[in-house]
Structure 1
Amino acid sequence: METVIIIVAGVLVTVATYLLLSKNLIRVILGTAILTHAVHLLLMAMGGFKGESVPIISDKHTTYVDALPQALILTSIVISFAVTAFFLVLAYQVYKRTNTDDLSKLRGYRHE
């Protein structure tokens, strides 16, 4: 199962790299969002899927699921959602003021 998740994370990194190299501002924002999801999958795969029960101490189970990667991923999801929302609002304001979302045209833009 970890192999499939790592391959999916690799595909997501490839798609995110393609989107990040685009000239469109919205594609760059979507590329950053996809890249964070690829990192979430990679963290989940690194945490492993082995374990039979929740980490409650008892005599029945000897291996437990590690909860630390899950907590890190949950925190990262919340932070990436906030950053993506901020980037989308910023892109909307840039488009409203400049009437373009092309990054090559925005490079030479001077605020009047």
Structure 2
Amino acid sequence: MGYINLNNMAFHTYNGVFGEEKKLGQRLEIDAKLGYPIEQKVRHDDLSETVSYADVYETIRQFVTTNSFDLIETVANRLLDEILTTYPALTSVHLKVRKYAVPIAGIFDNVEIEVERQR
């Protein structure tokens, strides 16, 4: 099984439980690992034989910049649904959604949610 990976996509979004998060927004980073049988399907150096990662990027960008949820778990689950619905040729989708501006008194890089679904 082959994979198409889009790593460290960064978007300014308005997700979060607290009012300030929804008002000021914050950066989310997303990694997407898309299962696609590249070895069997891509034979002629033709974009029509694969899933365009440019299109997937645009789908992700559009989704996360136009929707607002309290939880990044919801962002991850709904985005997973959106990608699988939009790109039926994919055999699986694995997402990581990272949030850096977290209202926790502690020292850490980020909070990350990871979800995966296979057909």
Q: Same fold (TM over 0.5)?
A: no
Mark the structure with the bigger radius of gyration.
1
Kindly indicate which of the two structures has a greater share of residues assigned to helix: 1
TM-score by length of 1: 0.28
Kindly indicate which of the two structures has a greater share of residues assigned to strand: 2
